[in-house]
Structure 1
Amino acid sequence: MSPPAEPAPLSGRQPKAVRNALAVLEEVVAAGPGVTAKEISAALKLPPATTYRLLNLLVGEEYLVRLPDLRGFALGRRAGRLTVPVASGPPAAARAVVERLRQRVRWGVHLASYQSGRVELADADPDHPPSDGALLARYPHASALGKLLLAEQADWRAVVRELRPFTTATITEAGRLETELADVARTGLARQCGELYPGRGCLAVAIRDVVNGTLVAGLAVSGPTERVAEPNPELLALLREHAEQLAPLLA
């Protein structure tokens, strides 16, 4: 019996192609669902033709999927095998705290997690559906929960890929956003008034690890823009009270 054939050696171009394909996957993760081929090409400084070829390959192998509605790409079925599974939601004790707050206010109450380095809705209010999760993750500058995350960054520009305007109230000037994020970092409170959808606003407070103080989650209430713009000291006190109760449960 003849010995098994030796595998063909990698050509000089193959390692680069593998690295580029992995870079495309990383860019889809970083940018979030809906990132376009043009955005990927610009971010990675790859020729458009190369980017399209890699995207077609990754879609064909089911590491990526096309999103017709978003006209972009998202992680596919096989990409899930590259990550360690995580818990699908907060512990029961944390959900109970969030539910108690919902019973005490007439606003929508949402809990977000930052464990992945992005805004992820961990417990969204079923009676007051929040904004699309993919939208919050991709454009954190336009939401209160996103601003909490950005205020924690050494350089928020590394997280925000585009200061996209959703309404006339959306902050699209870097200097103005910088000033607001400094205030969020100082107070642990973020506010958005009609920046994502007209007539809707949100207040959010930070939830920090009780041991090391790192940002782990955000607790938000959403309601009419004019009510969000008010000082609302009683609502803020209630929001902070429940955020403190959540801190040891989410560490």
Structure 2
Amino acid sequence: MSGAGLAGDTRLPEKGLGLALEILEQVARDDRGASAADIARAVGAPRATVYRVVNSLVRDEYLVRRPDFSGFLLGTRVLELAAIVGARKRPEHAPLLERLREETGEAVHLFAFHRSGLLVLDEDDRRPLSNREALLADPARSAIGHLWLVAHPDRRLPQAPCWSTDAPADDVRAIHEAYAVRGYTEQVALLSADRGCIAVPIHDDDARPVGAVTLSTSIARLSVAARHVGALRDAARALAPLASLSGW
């Protein structure tokens, strides 16, 4: 149901699940971040009621506040639900990742960025993430976390609530300097004592990193695995149109 249709709908519930769903729909329609006042006008509900429901959705991570507190964006739990639904059908990126896994012989994963953290879009089933919990909690401990920090230089805790650990300023500066030289990020033994990882960015139409394809391998093979950076970059370019279409 569109915002225009809501204005004259006298049956709109002002409490509970019905209003919460209407609010989530309005936020999803505005990728710049809808304000609470805008949402209240669109759904035709009292502003105080909308504020209460919005605060509840933020608390439960269905919404997240913009860093400048000017509005709200979809949160981690909505993005996770979308990923679960998408996983029921074979995604368009699957053949490309399968080919890359076969060619490199290494673990290859696909991630998307959102304003508050990372989303695992495609994990290598045969070679799963070595420490998924730590990877999604601390941006300083993974190559993909490093790349998220590069893509979001102005976003720090608590504006990025999915990260439970904030990266020290000196570490972030070093990550930016290394990325400026390489054009990708790398970590060694930060998640697992015997493994390292390379992350190559996927850019949107405005050249902003919106995700990444990563390659993980043993530390002994990491320098050799660097020869696959070209293949990872080719894959990232091929994935860019899919990222734009799916709105990563």
Query: TM bucket by the smaller chain?
Result: 0.5 to 0.7
- In 2: Cα distance, 1:84 partner to 1:233 partner: 34
Larger Rg computed on CA atoms:
1
Alignment-mate amino acid for residue 120 of structure 2:
L
State the TM-score, normalized to the length of structure 2. Answer: 0.59
- In 2: Cα distance, 1:197 partner to 1:136 partner: 10
Residue-by-residue CA offset, 1:146-193 (whole Å, 9 max, x unaligned): 111111113243335425xxxxxxxx7531332213432564311110
**Shift in alpha-carbon separation, 1:184–1:120, aligned structure 2, 3 A:** same
Which residue in the other structure is 1:249 paired with?
A: 242
Match of 2:219 among 221, 225, 233: 225
- In 2: Cα distance, 1:132 partner to 1:23 partner: 32
> Structure 1 residue 212: deviation in Å?
1.6
**Shift in alpha-carbon separation, 1:154–1:24, aligned structure 2, 3 A:** farther
2:197 aligned with 1:202: yes
Tell me, which stretches of 5 or more residues in structure 1 are unaligned?
A: 1-14, 31-74, 164-171
2:179 aligned with 1:147: no
Name whichever of 146-155 and 121-130 sits farther off. Answer: 146-155
2:20 aligned with 1:26: no
- In 2: Cα distance, 1:95 partner to 1:141 partner: 28
Alignment-mate amino acid for residue 26 of structure 1:
V
Alignment-mate amino acid for residue 245 of structure 1:
A
Contact 1:207 1:217 in 2 (8 A): yes
Residue-by-residue CA offset, 1:195-230 (whole Å, 9 max, x unaligned): 011111111100011x222222110011112322x2
Residue pairs, 1:4-153, within 5 angstroms = 26=58, 29=61, 85=82, 88-89=86-87, 92-115=91-114, 117-153=116-152
Contact 1:201 1:223 in 2 (8 A): yes
The number of aligned residues is 180
2:209 aligned with 1:215: yes
Match of 2:185 among 190, 197, 201: 190
Aligned sequence identity (%): 25
**Shift in alpha-carbon separation, 1:102–1:156, aligned structure 2, 3 A:** same
Alignment-mate amino acid for residue 88 of structure 1:
G
- In 2: Cα distance, 1:134 partner to 1:245 partner: 29
**Shift in alpha-carbon separation, 1:104–1:179, aligned structure 2, 3 A:** same
The list of structure 1 runs, each at least 4 consecutive aligned residues, that deviate by more than 4 angstroms after superposition, is 18-25, 83-87
Q: State the superposition RMSD in angstroms.
A: 3.6
- In 2: Cα distance, 1:186 partner to 1:157 partner: 24
